[in-house]
Amino acid sequence: MKHISSTIFVTALFLLCAAGALAQSETPKIIRGGILNGKAVSLPKPEYPAEAKSAGVEGLVQVAIVVDENGFIESAKAVKNDKEDSDVSPQVSEARAALRAAAEEAALKAKFSPTLLSGNPVKVSGVITYNFRLADDSTENRKSINGGTLNGKAIELPNPVYPDDARAAKVSGTVSVKVTVDEGGNVISAEAISGDQMLRWAAVDAARKARFSQTLLNGEPVKIVGIITYNFVLDGKPQ
């Protein structure tokens, strides 16, 4: 009788351990968390690369991440859009690569709370999205006035260099560049807001070299925010 009781106890203990092991094995080691921006307890902003600013490149960058059981970033890899990066100038391609690198660096510094599933800590895979914007009107345009289209108001307005790859691809058209002109008539920021991507960096580069006369408001020099437009024509010089 005592032998039977011992056998029942051992069997029950074995089944209990087996059930526990099965429950633990059924808990996935990693789960999908989707967009994780709103779930972070710490999400540092990426630094805007200087080469991307000078090329007038901005936009969204998605970084695929894996968060470990303790809430730290185990891996971060920016998602490259091959279609978007095709047929662009080397400068734009390098600028976009710099944006992806900056996004990855920022993502690695993010922190999340541990995720539990059935009481067990698990890894989480998902995406962090960063939006790189060249200008923040709320700060940059303080004490400035809207000057509209500025082409006719410039005292120096160099023509942009037609990019070789754009000419080879027979890309033409108008590029609009939003600029901020300081109190001395110098362009202190330039952002392409429309036009083909293959032409934008050349337009931004030319806009930064433009010069204007001082603008006075109530006798005081002020900044001007406006638009410079460039027309890239295949059979002639950009205007």
CA distances from 51 to 19, 57, 208, 232 (A): 58, 9, 14, 23
Indicate whether 193 belongs to any domain: yes
Local confidence band at 39 (pLDDT 50, 70, 90 cut-offs): confident
Q: Are residues 92 and 146 in the same domain?
A: no
CATH of the domain at 94: 3.30.2420.10
Supply the pLDDT for residue 15: 53
Tokens 């890894």 sit at which residue? Answer: 123
Q: Domain residues for 113?
A: 29-132
Q: Are residues 164 and 185 in the same domain?
A: yes
Q: Are residues 102 and 186 in the same domain?
A: no
Local confidence band at 116 (pLDDT 50, 70, 90 cut-offs): confident
Indicate whether 12 belongs to any domain: no
Q: How many domains does the chain have?
A: 2
Indicate whether 19 belongs to any domain: no
Supply the pLDDT for residue 137: 41
Supply the pLDDT for residue 220: 86
Residue where one domain finishes, among candidates 109, 132, 155: 132
Supply the pLDDT for residue 16: 54
Indicate whether 158 belongs to any domain: yes
Question: Which residue, 60, 56, 91, is CA-closest to 192?
Answer: 56
pTM: 0.51
Indicate whether 5 belongs to any domain: no
Indicate whether 7 belongs to any domain: no
Q: Are residues 114 and 163 in the same domain?
A: no
Distance CA 92, CA 94 (A): 5
Q: Are residues 149 and 95 in the same domain?
A: no
| Range with lowest mean pLDDT among 40-49, 84-93, 132-141 | 132-141
Q: Are residues 128 and 143 in the same domain?
A: no
Q: Are residues 118 and 177 in the same domain?
A: no
Indicate whether 78 belongs to any domain: yes
Supply the pLDDT for residue 140: 46
Supply the pLDDT for residue 89: 76
Q: Are residues 115 and 160 in the same domain?
A: no
Q: What is the pLDDT of residues 149-182, one digit of tens each?
A: 999 999 999 999 999 888 999 999 999 999 999 9
Q: Are residues 64 and 121 in the same domain?
A: yes
Q: Are residues 53 and 68 in the same domain?
A: yes
Residue where one domain finishes, among candidates 132, 165, 187: 132
Q: What b/e string do you get for 130-139 counting C-beta neighbours within 10 Å, with b at 16 or more?
A: bebebbeeee
Residue where one domain finishes, among candidates 82, 105, 132: 132
